[in-house]
Structure 1
């Protein structure tokens, strides 16, 4: 009986770790003893330790690979690989020490310095080899690993959004095989006619097409606000069930699709967490909204009319420190409809204040989630700011990356103070576009001052996202996710633009530490 690809990769990972451990062991013997065993008992003892190490490492890897939440190494980011190696080696050396201590004589003779070298070298070699193996797998792609074919059943207006999300984010469990529309089979406008002859025939043909696609599973995307939603769900489940096809339903609330981070366990139940966005935490005088990216986007979308004419800020360490020293700028930050923490040190202070589930809500992350959420075309966008070059890149990249987005326009203002007439013309232009979300990329603190000066003048909601324009234009590369996870994106940015950011980061971070930890503000 042959092995599947996933099994072969697990076996190769065992070999990779075994080779890394063997090289680490050889390096330890070389450094500690220079391959010269003074006593005749040393060679048997250290050989026994080597084989025990290989055995325990194999057992640990086999156990981890059988866990329900096992994640293939090519799907892990470097931080996850690092954490995994730390956990595995910790368990390995606990096993090894316990085994040695079971025989007091072996524990007495085994060199402590040799053990220290072995710990350090094992970590270096195993981590390095795993990262190299991961890079090789990533380079050669991620072939099907137990991937089941899935088809999507959606209404025409959601087809681009579903195609983009399912085509890129199904990971290793499913592969999107086909997308079929529900409009002819379950016409959303004909809420009273469920079983006329033509509709029934169309439904039978729809199920037949799903069968012919060879899919074992179907994803059904029906907005909860649709009047016939319950009828469509029940009818599709029944029809697909007769054919032995599993059915998954996209969940929505108030017409907005529910993402993974909005699901919370409530005892026996799984619930959708719907934030009231009422929690505030003050850091250096700035009142930050406590939430996460998914909830923030859901809240803004579902309350969009309440935000018209107002502005939203994303405040990092630099702008927080600047606000703490400038009462006018502080008033601008605290007069916003929402001010989100765009900096890990700020989030750390919020968590220390008792909001343990608070997360960083960076402008680019908010943009990404909002762009994905609005691929259904229900909300429109306008991009105001940055340079002509960046705007041209945005025009090219955004429609390709987020098909279905309703973009009303782009405008790069002059790099000078606008005259009152020019400003009035810009206000008229933005309002005439009818955009719901007006993204402002003028850089801090200029963009916050601009938004505050135009509060109540614009019909849409203003969002100051600074360098967010450049990230989506592609002329500045965003830090990898694993770097963001450990709160080191600022360092990544510093290496990209040291001349501009070095002085800002050194001064701002020093002031933040002084004010927070010394002055206890």
Structure 2
């Protein structure tokens, strides 16, 4: 099991992040992800992910194994700037994954995560809006082996995981190990958003980088640990890491 100090884990993740500079760069990324020649895992790194990686070696290893990692959220922008790095565009999955789905129009897609009726709503919405062919939809509470078996049986070209951290990252590494040429997206709450379970924050809150506050107001009990406890912990670690670097 990995025994790296959390500072070294953070450094490795930040070094691996693919910074997207502008909309044209983002479009190039979409195009490259739409033509997978080998298993490709796409992950998103936000403040919560960095906190988990600091304390959970298994999650860190699964996240670090992703082929493409994108910076997600204002917390990560703060971390980048504190280290003298350019953060690039905010590549949150809620905005980016629909663009990727659009690139898979007419192709085989799987949605694994959340629960009914939101899963069915997400499938219907995605088929109507993006024109994808959904060949599999499963709730997010089965054992990992059940999903890997589905992947081998149905061979979707794009797999969207909405199980939350760290389960989706661990599953993504297992699917990638099969060698099947597909893109596996660790999408967090994306299936909930597509299925209408969770609403987006108003545009002004998104522009200010505080969509997390909107989500906290909607689900205070579930997200208290993640945001009220986790955000200050992330900022403290950001300060300590800078001083220790």
Same fold (TM over 0.5): yes
- Residue 176 of structure 2 is matched in structure 1 by 455
Alignment TM-score, normalising by the size of structure 2: 0.83
Q: Distance in 2 between matches of 1:503 and 1:300?
A: 33
- Residue 290 of structure 1 is matched in structure 2 by 19
Q: Post-superposition shift, 1:367? A: 1.4
1:408 lines up with 2:134 in the alignment: yes
Contact 2:30 2:103 in 1 (8 A): no
- Residue 68 of structure 2 is matched in structure 1 by 338
Q: Post-superposition shift, 1:423? A: 4.8
Q: How many residues align?
A: 231
Q: Distance in 1 between matches of 2:163 and 2:126?
A: 19
Of the two, which has the highest radius of gyration? 1
Higher relative contact order (CA 8 A, sep 6+): 2
- Unpaired runs of 5+ residues, structure 2, are 1-8
- Residue 467 of structure 1 is matched in structure 2 by 189
Q: 1:304–1:398: structure 2 CA closer, same or farther, 3 Å change rule?
A: closer
Q: Distance in 2 between matches of 1:425 and 1:332?
A: 19
- Residue 234 of structure 2 is matched in structure 1 by 512
- Residue 428 of structure 1 is matched in structure 2 by 152
Alignment TM-score, normalising by the size of structure 1: 0.41
Q: Distance in 1 between matches of 2:41 and 2:121?
A: 25
Q: Distance in 1 between matches of 2:64 and 2:206?
A: 26
Q: Post-superposition shift, 1:383? A: 1.4
Contact 1:284 1:320 in 2 (8 A): no
Q: Post-superposition shift, 1:512? A: 0.9
1:361 to 78, 82, 91: 91
In the TM superposition, 1:19-34 aligns within 5 A as none
Q: Post-superposition shift, 1:330? A: 1.7
- Residue 479 of structure 1 is matched in structure 2 by 201
- Residue 4 of structure 2 is matched in structure 1 by none
Q: 1:439–1:297: structure 2 CA closer, same or farther, 3 Å change rule?
A: farther
1:310 lines up with 2:40 in the alignment: yes
Cα deviations by residue, 1:288-344 (Å, 9 ceiling, x for unpaired): 211158434532423544563121111211111110222332222222101111121
SS at match of 1:455: helix
Contact 1:438 1:460 in 2 (8 A): yes
Contact 2:118 2:192 in 1 (8 A): yes
Q: Distance in 1 between matches of 2:228 and 2:29?
A: 35
Q: Distance in 2 between matches of 1:470 and 1:292?
A: 28
Q: Distance in 2 between matches of 1:494 and 1:361?
A: 20
- Unpaired runs of 5+ residues, structure 1, are 1-281
Q: Post-superposition shift, 1:410? A: 3.2
Q: Distance in 2 between matches of 1:292 and 1:331?
A: 26
